[in-house]
Chains A and B, each alone.
Chain A
Amino acid sequence: NAGVTQTPKFQVLKTGQSMTLQCAQDMNHEYMSWYRQDPGMGLRLIHYSVGAGITDQGEVPNGYNVSRSTTEDFPLRLLSAAPSQTSVYFCASTPGQGNRETQYFGPGTRLLVL
């Protein structure tokens, strides 16, 4: 298994541009989530999904959209990038009911918005 993969690793955007951060897992995990990590802070939850077709907001959802059309993929969309969205983004997955212990994180995407 490749685990949780994220693309791209690095991205530079101009203010107002849109882009999609990709996240995929090949472990058939039900639960997937997106976090952002800013300097001096821990990870903050953006959006999460408990299964295909189901998404919900986390702690800091504004400016981001997600969808979960398949179990494997959970893309994060920035519709109009802002400098405040400069951060490192992590995707994570976990098997689901009764298996909260195992949360796998991807390697991260570093985003710079100019």
Chain B
Amino acid sequence: GESVGLHLPTLSVQEGDNSIINCAYSNSASDYFIWYKQESGKGPQFIIDIRSNMDKRQGQRVTVLLNKTVKHLSLQIAATQPGDSAVYFCAETEDSSYKLIFGSGTRLLVRP
């Protein structure tokens, strides 16, 4: 597949450990945030989302934390697996808009 990003920051974790991927967003008016996972050669895949009236949301093995004060978003992956290796993007948008603004991405490498 294509190279999603040649100069992406990379997080390397041991299989079974927890992973934390961070994202700083830019627009203080953004009220809806999404994490996407992108595997090589594929389009982004929805992981989890959170609205600005929440500061935490949990899914299956994933948790998203939102800190509006410092405009920071994080994705926590519990018990990271080899299949979690991918590039992860955060995206933001305002309430009335479908226009997603993507961050630059983080590459997650899971060591066996």
Contact = CB atoms under 8 A, between A and B. Distances in A.
Q: For the complex, would chain A's binding face be called helix, strand, loop or mixed by DSSP majority?
A: strand
A67 interface: no
A107 B98 contact: no
Contacts of B41: 107-108
Contacts of B34: 101, 103
Contacts, number: 68
B107 to A, nearest CB: 11
A63 B86 CA distance: 31
Contact of A108 (B42, B100, B103, B104): B42
Interface string B83-110: 0000001010100001111111100000
Interface of B: 2-8, 32, 34, 41-46, 49, 89, 91, 93, 98-105
Interface of A: 4, 31, 33, 35, 37, 39-45, 48, 50, 58-59, 88, 90, 92, 94, 100-103, 105-108, 110
Given A40-B8, A43-B44, A59-B101, 10 more contacts: A31-B98, A39-B3, A39-B6, A40-B104, A42-B103, A100-B32, A101-B49, A105-B43, A107-B41, A110-B2
